[in-house]
Amino acid sequence: MSDVDNDVRELLRQKADGLEGPSQMPRPVLRRARRRRALNGFVAATTAAAVIVGAFLGGQALLRPRAERGPAGSTTPTVTGSGLSEDGLSPAFAAIWPERNADELRAEQTRVKEHPDVDGYRLDPKETAVEFAHQVLNWDPTIIDATVKVPPGGAPNPPLEVELHFGTLIREEGLPPQAPYALSVTGAPLGNTGDLGIWSVTRVRSDLVDLTCGIGSPVATDGSIHVCGNTAWDPSLATAKTWATPGDAATTGLDPDEASPTLDLPMASDGTFEGELGPVPGGFGGSTVIVVEVLDQSGSPVGMAAQKIVIARSDSSSSPTP
Amino acid sequence: MIRAGEHQVSDAGRLGELYRQHAPEAVRLAYLLTGDRALAEDLVQEAFVRLFGRFRDLRNPDAFPWYLRRTVVNLARSHFRHKRVERAYVASHGADPTTAAGPPDTGAREEMWQALLQLPERQRTAIVLRYYEDLSEAQTADAMQCPVGTVKSLVSRGMGRLRGLVTRDE
């Protein structure tokens, strides 16, 4: 255990010990609790009645001939499961955050339905994108300006791009519009698409990180990925790094895990960077998330590109050992 | 009528006892999560209201401290999510002596406390549960209602930032 671990432990203990807690329960607490209990009883009774009526109506609907029933509603789950898509070039389950496979999505969907007061942000693409920037890039949500860009055309439930600007409020206070700090987070409702359908992040781009060699092609097991691009951030102050994480399980968020290949990308004076990231371990499964991050002089991430790509298994690795 | 009155008295007595037993520790936890004593007490009162409101429905009333901890964590998270003022609040109130617990720290420790308060609330929550409450990663994940991997990531990122601060200061 490091000194900092001990310092944090001691700091928390000291801060907590300096606080005297309440010894008597304030009267309003009990009154409010009793009112709440009565309300809970009413809600439970109403819900039970609604369930009974719903079950009755549902039973009636099931007894009707199939031909009389209409098409499935928009809340039908469309989760396709993890693995490869039919073309084998793109992952079947596109999300990179916070879940990476259909099972995690179903669990999250259930959790959000049970706790919409806590996880309500998952129901809104803009809030989900802001939360991504907050949790993954450490951006302060109070100074993120988010705009949803609706794609043209009338496709149902299309993926949406949410453009995030960091520090916009500060610029509005009169500072020059330098340092764009813009992040484009693509989100999609991959499971339920009704009012309680949650949004997942499927791709991240940034106007500070321009990847000039595409990283969308499948990579072979134990193969490497050529990562190159440039940054609009001052190259004398910026650093860049890239890593790959398992694409089918969100075990570490977007952070690298023990098996992740990672690479510090040397930054040229003109802001370009280039390197070979690999090898991509076979243990990652059917896909991997490639992350490229640009950090400022204090080590804070200012831009990120992240997307999931397919790991193409060679014949020798997929055939059983004799 | 007498029975109802007796029931109410015993009810109040039992809940009062639970409050006396667990409220101080819950306030400490809420304070470490929020950095504000008054807010911590409000959150804990709300947590008790919610838990008392469904106390008879709790699957295992013996696990009351566990339910309480989870409710406090949820309420703190909900507070920051809905208000979206985490940083602004800390910036405007962090140095307010009326909200501080005990004498003010000096030097590196105060700096680390301020850095801790400025972490994203989920990172701070994970660190407080792991380092103050001494919960395992699995227990922390349960309290935060998230995967174990997320807890590892949150603690790692948060501690990384704190270490960076200490290193830079050296």
Residue contact B132–A140, C-beta within 8 A: no
Q: For residue A159, what pLDDT band results from cuts at 50, 70 and 90?
A: confident
Whether the predicted pLDDT of A157 surpasses 70:
yes
Per the prediction, chain A carries an average pLDDT of 77
- What is the rounded CA–CA span in Å between residue B129 and residue A298? 27
Whether the predicted pLDDT of B149 surpasses 70:
yes
User: Which of A60-74, A148-162, A275-289 has maximum average pLDDT?
Assistant: A275-289
**Chain A partners of B43 at a C-beta cutoff of 8 Å?**
none
C-beta of residue A280 within 8 angstroms of C-beta of residue A224: yes
The whole-number pLDDT of residue A80 equals 35
Amino acid at A30: L
- CB distance from B97 to chain A under 8 Å? no
The whole-number pLDDT of residue B135 equals 93
Amino acid at B98: T
Whether the predicted pLDDT of B101 surpasses 50:
no
- What is the rounded CA–CA span in Å between residue B61 and residue B51? 10
The whole-number pLDDT of residue A314 equals 63
Closest B-chain CA to A26 = B45
Neighbouring C-beta atoms of residue A78, cutoff 10 Å: 14
- What is the rounded CA–CA span in Å between residue A82 and residue A311? 13
Q: For residue B118, what pLDDT band results from cuts at 50, 70 and 90?
A: confident
Of residues B70 and A34, the one with the higher pLDDT is: B70
- A279 upstream amide cis, omega within 30 of 0: yes
Q: For residue A42, what pLDDT band results from cuts at 50, 70 and 90?
A: low
Structure tokens at A285: 């499964």
Whether the predicted pLDDT of A126 surpasses 70:
yes
Angle, helix B148-169 to helix B107-118, in steps of 10 degrees: 140
Closest B-chain CA to A251 = B149
Report chain B's C-alpha Rg in angstroms: 18
**In chain A, what percentage of residues exceed pLDDT 90?**
17
C-beta of residue A122 within 8 angstroms of C-beta of residue A108: yes
- What is the rounded CA–CA span in Å between residue A222 and residue A282? 6
Q: How far is B6 from chain A (nearest CA, A)?
A: 15
User: Which of A250-254, A314-318, B115-119 has maximum average pLDDT?
Assistant: B115-119
Closest B-chain CA to A116 = B78
Residue contact A142–B86, C-beta within 8 A: yes
**Chain A partners of B27 at a C-beta cutoff of 8 Å?**
19, 21-22
- CB distance from A118 to chain B under 8 Å? yes
- CB distance from A252 to chain B under 8 Å? yes
Report chain A's C-alpha Rg in angstroms: 25
Q: For residue A168, what pLDDT band results from cuts at 50, 70 and 90?
A: low
Look at the pTM and tell me if it is higher than 0.95.
no
- CB distance from B26 to chain A under 8 Å? yes
Residue contact A15–B16, C-beta within 8 A: no
Residue among A74, A105, A101 at smallest CA distance from A193 = A74
Q: For residue A307, what pLDDT band results from cuts at 50, 70 and 90?
A: very high
**Chain A partners of B45 at a C-beta cutoff of 8 Å?**
26, 28-29
**Chain A partners of B20 at a C-beta cutoff of 8 Å?**
23-25
- CB distance from A142 to chain B under 8 Å? yes
User: Which of A2-6, A61-65, A150-154, A159-163 has maximum average pLDDT?
Assistant: A159-163
The whole-number pLDDT of residue A170 equals 45
- What is the rounded CA–CA span in Å between residue A105 and residue A108? 5
Residue among A247, A244, A253 at smallest CA distance from A286 = A247
Q: For residue A204, what pLDDT band results from cuts at 50, 70 and 90?
A: very high
Residue contact A135–B120, C-beta within 8 A: yes
Q: Are strands A239-246 and A262-265 parallel, antiparallel or unpaired?
A: antiparallel
Chain A neighbours among B 57-76 (CB < 8 Å)?
57, 74
The whole-number pLDDT of residue A55 equals 72
* Strand (E) or helix (H) holding A317: helix A315-318
Per the prediction, chain B carries an average pLDDT of 76
Residue contact A7–B48, C-beta within 8 A: no
Helix/strand/coil (H/E/C) assignment for every residue in chain B: CHHHHHHHHHHHHHHHHHHHHHHHHHHHHHHHHHCCHHHHHHHHHHHHHHHHHCHHHCCCHHHHHHHHHHHHHHHHHHHHHHHCCHHHHHHHHCCCCCCCCCCCCCHHHHHHHHHHHHCCHHHHHHHHHHHHCCCCHHHHHHHHCCCHHHHHHHHHHHHHHHHHHHHHHC
- What is the rounded CA–CA span in Å between residue B136 and residue A78? 36
The whole-number pLDDT of residue A70 equals 38
ipTM: 0.78
Q: Is A292 helix (H, G, I), strand (E, B) or coil?
A: strand
Of residues B26 and A169, the one with the higher pLDDT is: B26
User: Which of A140-144, A186-190, B91-95 has maximum average pLDDT?
Assistant: A186-190
Work out the angle at residue B38's Cα, subtended by the Cα atoms of residues B139 and B74, and round it to the nearest 5 degrees: 30
Spatial CB neighbours of A174, under 8 Å, sequence gap ≥ 6: none
Q: Which of A164-168, A290-294, B16-20, B36-40 has the lowest mean pLDDT?
A: A164-168
Residue among A210, A212, A246, A237 at smallest CA distance from A226 = A212
Q: Is A166 helix (H, G, I), strand (E, B) or coil?
A: strand
10 Å CB burial of residue A173 (0-12, 13-18, 19+) is: exposed
Q: Read off φ and ψ for residue A177, nearest 5 degrees.
A: -75, 65
- What is the rounded CA–CA span in Å between residue A20 and residue B25? 9
Output b/e per residue, A278-315; b: 16+ Cβ within 10 A: bebbeebbbbbbbbbbbbbeeeebbbbbbbbbbbbbee
Query: Which DSSP string do the residues of A42-54 spell out, in sequence order?
Result: HHHHHHHHHHHHH
Q: How far is B24 from chain A (nearest CA, A)?
A: 4
Neighbouring C-beta atoms of residue B1, cutoff 10 Å: 5
Structure tokens at B17: 């006892």
C-beta of residue A286 within 8 angstroms of C-beta of residue A247: yes
The whole-number pLDDT of residue A244 equals 92
- What is the rounded CA–CA span in Å between residue B86 and residue B97? 18
Q: Is A177 helix (H, G, I), strand (E, B) or coil?
A: coil
**Chain B partners of A33 at a C-beta cutoff of 8 Å?**
15, 48-49, 52-53, 55
Question: What is the mean pLDDT of the segment spanning A45-53?
Answer: 70
